[in-house]
Amino acid sequence: EDKVVQSPLSLVVHEGDTVTLNCSYEVTNFRSLLWYKQEKKAPTFLFMLTSSGIEKKSGRLSSILDKKELFSILNITATQTGDSAVYLCAVEARDKIIFGKGTRLHILP
């Protein structure tokens, strides 16, 4: 059965810390891995990864995919209170998209 597992489920850190969020997957017909940030209602897109070893970067956020070991990480450096959210990992397969349960990140001021 296809699955996407995120860890940790929740994380509390202080402003300025660096965090690493993990996403592992077992999905047939893998096409891409996506990261989303969900604050209140609608998830907002962060990254799409299709190739191993190529880091995608946007400001303080970066992500990388390892298709051999079937996982991805999302790094956030110099965290700010505005980074508090649920971070969702999703894997797109040939005919569906599977989401992990998310990592709830809380940044303390």
Partner 1 sequence: KAGVTQTPRYLIKTRGQQVTLSCSPISGHRSVSWYQQTPGQGLQFLFEYFSETQRNKGNFPGRFSGRQFSNSRSEMNVSTLELGDSALYLCASSLQGLGETQYFGPGTRLLVL
Tokens 């699955």 found at: 3
List binders of partner 1 among 81-100 (CB under 8 A).
88, 90, 92, 95-100
List binders of partner 1 among 20-39 (CB under 8 A).
31-32, 34, 36
Q: Which is nearer to partner 1, 17 or 46 (CB)?
A: 46
The CB-of-77 to partner 1 minimum distance in angstroms stands at 23
**Phi, psi dihedrals of residue 22, rounded to the nearest 5°:** -115, 150
Q: Determine the Cα–Cα distance for residues 73 and 71; give it in Å rounded to an integer.
A: 7
Spatial CB neighbours of 8, under 8 Å, sequence gap ≥ 6: 21, 22, 103
The CB-of-58 to partner 1 minimum distance in angstroms stands at 13
103 near partner 1, rule: CB under 8 A? no
Site for partner 1 (CB under 8 A): which residue of 11, 48, 70, 73?
A: 48
DSSP secondary structure, 43-99, as one string:
-EEEEEE-STT--EEETTEEEEEETTTTEEEEEE-S--GGG-EEEEEEEEESS-EEE
- What is the total count of residues that contact partner 1 (CB under 8 A)? 21
Residue numbers at the binding site for partner 1 (CB under 8 A): 31-32, 34, 36, 41-45, 48, 88, 90, 92, 95-102
